[in-house]
């Protein structure tokens, strides 16, 4: 009879964590720097209430967004959104460029999913 050897109980969480981090979505979700996550959570809390429950919901929200968008895309969208408020030709460019609007729409979809899952 062939007997499979299992890992000792104390190493099982480590094995599980290693397996989870090797999944493609896990690597993508973890590419957001801490500063970006904290900035998002602080802004979210300022909009939704400064309490512990809101902090948990906002932290969940950025995690869901990170599942949908790699950090590079998130950073580009944040830049586009900031530039859309500019007056003159520069602001018009960021409000009307189709490729940029597609990125904003992707963030909006990610935020909608985050709202459903976290709030």
The more confidently predicted of residues 108 and 13 is 108
The structural domains of the chain, with segments of one domain joined by +, span 26-118
Closest CA to 16 of 7, 24, 25: 7
pLDDT at 80: 86
> Tell me: the pLDDT tens digits for 37-86?
999 999 999 999 999 999 999 999 999 999 999 999 999 999 888 887 88
Compute the average pLDDT of residues 102-106: 91
Question: Is 8's pLDDT higher than 80?
Answer: no
H or E stretch covering 38: helix 34-48
Of the pLDDT bands very low, low, confident and very high (cuts 50, 70, 90), residue 29 is low
Torsion of CA 64, 66, 69, 74, to 10 degrees: 120
């Amino acid at each position: 009879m062939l007997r499979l050897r299992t890992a000792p109980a104390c190493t099982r969480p480590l094995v599980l964590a290693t397996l989870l981090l090797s999944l493609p979505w896990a690597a993508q979700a973890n590419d957001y720097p801490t500063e970006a996550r904290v900035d998002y959570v602080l802004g979210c809390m300022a909009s939704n209430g400064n309490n512990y429950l809101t902090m948990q919901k906002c932290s969940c929200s950025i995690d869901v967004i990170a599942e949908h968008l790699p950090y590079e895309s998130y950073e580009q969208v944040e830049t586009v959104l900031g530039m859309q408020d500019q007056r003159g030709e520069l602001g018009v460019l960021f409000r009307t460029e189709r490729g940029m609007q597609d990125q904003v729409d992707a963030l909006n979809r990610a935020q909608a999913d985050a709202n459903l899952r976290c709030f």
